[in-house]
Structure 1
Amino acid sequence: MESSNIDFNFCFPVPNVLGSERVQLVPFVPSEHAEPFIEQCLLYPSVFENLPFGPFKDAHDLTTNYFIPHVQSNPGYLMFLIWDKTKPSSLPGAPGSIAGMMGYLNTSSINLSTEIGCIIIFPPFQRTHVTSNAVGLLLNYALNLPSRQAGALGLRRVFWQTNSMNQASVRLAGRMQFKLEGTLRWDRVLPANKTVGNGKKVREGDPRSDCIGRDTVMLSLCWDDWEDGAREAVDAIMNRTA
């Protein structure tokens, strides 16, 4: 089923596919992708450690408690399933192995901005070409002008938010040319089942004392950075084979 036949409720046009030689991104369709995706999540529940949602017990749980209320109902959200084209798949017609998920969050058509987030890369695909290629594809589609890439959005700003304790994510953003803007202290109250916060205790009598807090590192990559060398640096990273 092509994405053009589905209403994703996203505030910008939705591409059918974004691809490089080694990775392919397709808009996440729960009816098609939730089941094979959750099968991998159940093997690697640690992928939700630094995320403010999950883990999920099955495809129905993922769809009803994440996709419907947080993605499909929000025009600023669009998630992509990540395929690693260099690995075989047991699914008929699939372009490769399911490697994870990531997408656009908090997108604003008025302010021409979006966030790359909700990044889930399954352990067998971590520290490979998958993450850099997937992020690079989303950056190119977001920041390129349509005159350079057909259908591209020509946004002015792409930002990246991550738990301050997740230094791997901070390093990845820096490698992908994002610039550090600052740290938002006590930015979020995390769900009670989360154990990775900001490493600080909440005060006595806190109204949500069973929930730890998160400090959020904010980084960004803007159109002028992109056209001043960041695009070439990202494309070079995507093209690396070692």
Structure 2
Amino acid sequence: MSLGPTPRQFCFPTPVLQNAKVKLVPFSAWQIEKHAQRFYDITKDHDDMYTYTNNGPYHSLQHLIDTFFAPAFFSGGKESFAYAVIDKTLPPSAEDPDGELAGVFSYEHADDKTLCVEIGHVRVAPAYQRKGIAVVATALMARYAMDTKEQGGLGLVRVGWGASSVNEASIRVARKAGFGFVGTIPYQQVLKNGVARNKVGNGRRLPSWAEAGDLWRDVDMFCITWEEWEAGKRDVALQLLAGSDKK
């Protein structure tokens, strides 16, 4: 199996993040070796996981590695980093001693100069959905990003979240985790051959020069600022994590 380039050096430290329900394990070449096959197996029959994004679906394990993991997290730059999402409510597995691999989350557009980051590449396999895993993972990543260094976090000034404006599930996760709506970016990304790939665009009329079969998507942007975090958003995240711990 080709794992692609050497993992990039992310601009922030990447510890394991966890509560009683979810563990986020930093990806490395070794983790790709360990988790990629399982991630492919639990998602390969669910093309609808990629309906609102330009990437996917994937037709083989190597296709997944070459066109998702390698370019997103293992080549050039230091702005993106992926986590394996482990469902700790399940018994130990070959993927992790604390549970089963349920999906992938990541930080992206990270900047250690402006102290900002976004949570993206959010994927929870259908078999693990409707368990609150996405919200808990989001709360874990938001807490690490926004808590002060004295509290064990990065002390950033903003954590963001972007979702296709018609992806209601992603928008619900952001809102439940305390992210506030900032605005909509129209025509944020072209979905090449989107019609043939069963993508869902923004539904807007396309310009006359658009290539046949292409779609565009609008993106709704959400964020939490450091002021909002201190004013109550931190409590939202902590309540989500504490409530998850009790289940």
Specify if TM > 0.5: yes
Q: Contact conserved, 2:53 with 2:199, CA < 8 A, in 1?
A: no
The answer for the alignment partner of 2:24 in structure 1 is 25
The answer for the alignment partner of 1:3 in structure 2 is none
Give the counterpart letter for 1:120 in structure 2: R
Deviations 1:150-183 (A, max 9, x none): xx21111011111001122112211111111111
Report the Cα offset of residue 189 of structure 1.
0.5
The answer for the alignment partner of 2:232 in structure 1 is 229
SS of the counterpart of 1:202? coil
1:79-228 → structure 2 map (5 Å cutoff)? 79-91=82-94, 93-149=96-152, 152-192=153-193, 193-206=197-210, 208-228=211-231
Report the Cα offset of residue 111 of structure 1.
0.8
The answer for the alignment partner of 2:64 in structure 1 is 62
SS of the counterpart of 1:240? helix
Distance in 2 between the 1:83 and 1:65 partners?
23
SS of the counterpart of 1:197? coil
Residues 201 and 209 (structure 1 numbering): CA distance in 2 closer, same or farther, change over 3 Å?
Answer: farther
How many residue pairs get aligned? The number is 233
Deviations 1:104-146 (A, max 9, x none): 0111111100000111111222221311111111011111111
Q: Contact conserved, 2:53 with 2:191, CA < 8 A, in 1?
A: no
Q: Contact conserved, 1:83 with 1:98, CA < 8 A, in 2?
A: yes
TM-score (norm 2): 0.88
Distance in 1 between the 2:44 and 2:232 partners?
40
Residues 93 and 119 (structure 1 numbering): CA distance in 2 closer, same or farther, change over 3 Å?
Answer: closer
Matching residue within 52, 57, 76 for 1:50: 52
Give the counterpart letter for 1:234 in structure 2: A
Distance in 2 between the 1:129 and 1:240 partners?
11
SS of the counterpart of 1:43? coil
CA RMSD across the alignment = 1.8
**Percent identity among equivalent residues?**
30
Unaligned runs of 5+ in 2: 1-5
Unaligned runs of 5+ in 1: 1-5
Deviations 1:77-128 (A, max 9, x none): 0011101010124416531111111110111111100000111111222221
Q: Contact conserved, 2:95 with 2:101, CA < 8 A, in 1?
A: no
Deviations 1:184-218 (A, max 9, x none): 11111113125211012312232x33210111101
Q: Contact conserved, 1:132 with 1:238, CA < 8 A, in 2?
A: no
Give the counterpart letter for 2:174 in structure 1: A
Report the Cα offset of residue 7 of structure 1.
4.9
Distance in 2 between the 1:82 and 1:52 partners?
22
Distance in 1 between the 2:242 and 2:129 partners?
17
Distance in 2 between the 1:100 and 1:189 partners?
25
Q: Contact conserved, 1:52 with 1:194, CA < 8 A, in 2?
A: no
Q: Contact conserved, 2:106 with 2:122, CA < 8 A, in 1?
A: yes
Distance in 1 between the 2:99 and 2:132 partners?
14
